[in-house]
Amino acid sequence: MKGLRRTLLDWYRANRRALPWRATRDPYAIWISEAMLQQTRVETAIPYYERFLARFPDVQALAGADRDAVLGVWAGLGYYSRARNLHAAARVVVDRFAGELPDDAETLRSLPGVGRYTAGAVASIAYDRPEPVVDGNVARVLARLHAIRDDVRSSATLRRLWEEAGALARGPHPGDLNQALMELGATVCTPRAPRCSACPVARHCEAHRLGEAESLPVRSKPAAPRRVEAVAALVLRRGRALAVRRPSGLLAGLWDLPGGELARGERPAAGVRRALRERVGLSVARAQRAGAVEHAFSHRRLRLHVYRCDTPEGRVRLRDFDGHRWLAPGSFTRLPQGAVTRKAFDLVLERFPAGAGGSGGGGR
């Protein structure tokens, strides 16, 4: 164990990539980076991390910000609950912890959105606490080091992986040790074609010794994503477009084009009229199809039929949304919104540039 730890630390210090969050010991910055990195590739996260910290340089700035501003900086990164939770947690840190991010994993886990992984990462990297982390990279490295052949998605195997990571973290420099495991998984012990011949811990590795590196870890197949058909419409009235805000779910707090899921067997042209009538209380005078966009979420695959609709007078009555605005189409993309909304908006504007109003391309 000692030899493995020493080798990992030496290798990490000589080979780590220079990433912006590795140039700081600021617990807040490390927390933001860990929240971003949970579902996002390093290269994608870097510009978002830099923009986020430039806009909200400390926990007070984040706590005092408007939720729309936080979601706006996050827009495009996906998994928006992370941004909502960061915002809510920053307020708790200011209110209950005098603006100091707690230094122990258990208290960190009391914050909204902070699970075992994030708590372990912040406690170990920012405060050098002997707390383990297990993400996809660490799970793969440990499953190979110990030749664990059980399904890494099962709770029993996960328990074992956390125990193995915990044993490693109970030594000097736990933050660097955890980062070494993650870095090894990201750059050497990769999912396909691990570079065992260049691996610093090859002599400690059971999977390598047994010639099983490529076949581990074992992973059960996830359920196939559910296919969902839905409609969305750029609804125009006197040159202004209707934007609606989602109150809950994965995209809570984001602005959207009104619409909704199709019923089984329902045709999109009929569905868009029904969805607008039921969910925003508007009847449609004319609906023109712009096309469809596809988007993959983690558990479902969405096909969104996009329309441009004109609506006469009539009061907006919301169901399933908690806010609405009529605004120049060019201003629509300045609201925080998800990637699929942006795709749908771009499609309808491309198909009906004039119909979307004279300033249609202005804010894009």
Binding site for ligand SF4 (CB under 6 A): 141, 144-145, 188-189, 194-196, 199, 201-202, 205, 207-208, 213
Residue 153 C-beta: closest distance to ligand SF4, Å: 19
Find the catalytic residue in 34, 131, 164, 183. 34
Residue 209 C-beta: closest distance to ligand SF4, Å: 9
* Cβ-proximal residues to 345 (8 Å cutoff; 6+ apart), any chain: 234, 257, 332, 333, 337
Contact 208, 144 (CB under 8 A): yes
CA distance 36 to 356: 35
How does DSSP assign 5-31, residue by residue?
HHHHHHHHHHH----GGGG---HHHHH
Question: What tokens appear for 111 in the block?
Answer: 């914050």
Element (H, E) at 261: strand 259-261
Q: Which is nearer to ligand SF4, 207 or 293 (CB)?
A: 207
Residue 194 C-beta: closest distance to ligand SF4, Å: 4
Q: Which is nearer to ligand SF4, 146 or 289 (CB)?
A: 146
How does DSSP assign 25-41, residue by residue?
--HHHHHHHHHHHTSS-
What is the distance, to the nearest Å, from the Cα of residue 260 to the centroid of all Cα atoms in its chain?
23
Angle between helices 67-74 and 42-55 (to 10 degrees): 150
* C-alpha radius of gyration, the chain, whole number: 24
Element (H, E) at 331: helix 329-332
Residue 118 C-beta: closest distance to ligand SF4, Å: 25
Q: Is 34 a catalytic residue?
A: yes
Q: Which is nearer to ligand SF4, 144 or 273 (CB)?
A: 144
Q: Which is nearer to ligand SF4, 72 or 185 (CB)?
A: 185
Residue with tokens 């609606």: 244
Residue with tokens 């809570």: 252
Q: Which is nearer to ligand SF4, 161 or 189 (CB)?
A: 189
DSSP reduced 3-state for 188: coil
Of 327, 346, 332, 319, give the one whose Cα is nearest residue 254.
332
Residue 176 C-beta: closest distance to ligand SF4, Å: 17
Q: Which is nearer to ligand SF4, 4 or 318 (CB)?
A: 4
Residue 152 C-beta: closest distance to ligand SF4, Å: 14
CA distance 195 to 200: 10
Amino acid at 90: A
Annotated catalytic sites, by residue?
34
